[in-house]
Amino acid sequence: MKVMNSYKIGLIGFNELQSRVLHEVLQNPRFELVAATDIPVEFRKALPREVKIYSSVEEMLSSTMLNVVSICHEPDKKLSYANIVADRGINIIYEPPIHDDLEKVEGVLEKLRNNKVFAMPLDEVFFHKVIQQLIQSVMDNAIGLPIVAYCRRFDRRRIKPKKLLYLTMPFITLSRRLMNSEPTEVYASIKEEEIGLININFENKTSAVICFGHRTLESYPVDDITIDVIGTDGVLTAKPDNASIRIYSEKSFSKENWEEKGISSLFKHLISRLQGGGAILDIEDDLVAVRVLAAATESNSRKDCVKIRS
């Protein structure tokens, strides 16, 4: 049952991620799905009957009062739709990245700022309770000063080469939070679009190493993630796929089986943002990650370390 002050949401596009957004919206009494557009015919049956499907984004935005729009689509269309929605002064949640062209992303950001609305990446990994506990533990000085973060992500799903690189985006943002610093340079080695490594150096002389790739063995999780953070006083290990986190130090700590999914945690934060709360993750983080990936791509081509352009 929806509450009186529920937030009205519209959908643009439909894919696996948008299906999880849909499920969360339908389960969450604080949101009301009222409109959708650019939904492939074969997926329209997933929408409740009362949801009106419009022939264009412009028609949807002109016909309904929306608090937030969820955009999940191919990069060029995603960018186009984000510009239209931002122009109308409506908040956005979106499948990251909005686009890999830095100037185009900055253009969307300017519109958002001018209209005093936000765009938040639909990053289920970053919002996972294990990841948030990991960040909090480092902030609480559980392992002393962090020195280096090792992030590993191997996915069994067949992913296009460019999208494989996007798997690293949550860990670029995570590393920035853990090290409490901004990236300055990158070295990357990507082999045959199947496996890769990105080494990031930060302003405060800390670093992060992100290993990623495609794995075919069915004995592994579909999305196999492990994060180790080494500090001056201990080591922290986290595995979101089995919801566990362990700290090896004088402040030893372990916990398993967080039940809340990343998408649910994300929507809790979305409610906070709509109520005027601060951002845990925003399009600015997306922009930094895109800059890092641009430098990583250049580094892989040059076989050398590359400075990150501001």
Please determine, for residue 310, whether its predicted confidence score (pLDDT) is greater than 90. Answer: no
Rounded Cα–Cα distance for residues 268 and 120 (Å): 13
Q: Which residues contact 14 (CB under 8 A, 6 or more apart)?
A: 36, 38, 39, 40, 43, 46, 72
Domain CATH code at residue 226: 3.30.360.10
**Among candidate residues 267, 167, 264, the one with its CA nearest the CA of residue 225:** 167
- Tell me, yes or no, whether 21 and 100 share the same domain: yes
Decide which of 80, 100, 122 is a domain's last residue.
122
- Tell me, yes or no, whether 22 and 74 share the same domain: yes
**Among candidate residues 123, 216, 235, the one with its CA nearest the CA of residue 178:** 235
pTM: 0.91
- Tell me, yes or no, whether 296 and 179 share the same domain: yes
- Residue 291 near residue 308 (C-beta atoms within 8 A): yes
Task: Quote the domain boundaries for residue 62.
Answer: 7-122
Q: Tell me the pLDDT tens digit for each residue of 5-51.
A: 799 999 999 999 999 999 999 999 999 999 999 999 999 999 999 99
Determine the pLDDT at residue 219: 57
HSE-CB at 58 with a 13 A cutoff on CA atoms is 1
Name the strand (E) or helix (H) holding 149: strand 146-155
- Tell me, yes or no, whether 41 and 140 share the same domain: no
**Buried b or exposed e, range 296-307, using 16+ CB within 10 angstroms:** bbbbbeeeeebe
Tokens of 254: 């372990």
Residue found under tokens 């609480």: 140
DSSP, collapsed to helix, strand or coil, labels residue 301 as helix
- Tell me, yes or no, whether 101 and 143 share the same domain: no
Domain CATH code at residue 85: 3.40.50.720
Rounded Cα–Cα distance for residues 205 and 225 (Å): 25
Please determine, for residue 2, whether its predicted confidence score (pLDDT) is greater than 60. Answer: no
Determine the pLDDT at residue 121: 96
- Tell me, yes or no, whether 147 and 15 share the same domain: no
Report how many domains make up the chain: 2
- Tell me, yes or no, whether 104 and 192 share the same domain: no
Q: For 181-273, where are the E strands, in sequence order? A: 183-191, 195-202, 207-214, 223-231, 234-239, 244-249, 253-256
Q: How confident is the model at residue 244 (pLDDT cuts 50, 70, 90)?
A: confident
Is there a domain that residue 13 lies in?
Answer: yes
Q: Tell me the pLDDT tens digit for each residue of 156-191.
A: 766 666 677 888 999 999 999 999 999 999 999 988
**Among candidate residues 24, 12, 163, the one with its CA nearest the CA of residue 86:** 12
Quote the percentage of the chain above a pLDDT of 90.
Answer: 73
Q: How confident is the model at residue 214 (pLDDT cuts 50, 70, 90)?
A: confident
DSSP, collapsed to helix, strand or coil, labels residue 176 as helix
Cis previous bond, 97, omega within 30:
yes
- Tell me, yes or no, whether 152 and 174 share the same domain: yes
Is there a domain that residue 103 lies in?
Answer: yes
Q: Tell me the pLDDT tens digit for each residue of 112-155.
A: 999 999 999 999 999 998 899 899 999 999 899 999 999 999 87
Is there a domain that residue 200 lies in?
Answer: yes
DSSP, collapsed to helix, strand or coil, labels residue 216 as coil
Q: Which residues contact 127 (CB under 8 A, 6 or more apart)?
A: 262, 263, 265, 266, 269, 280, 281
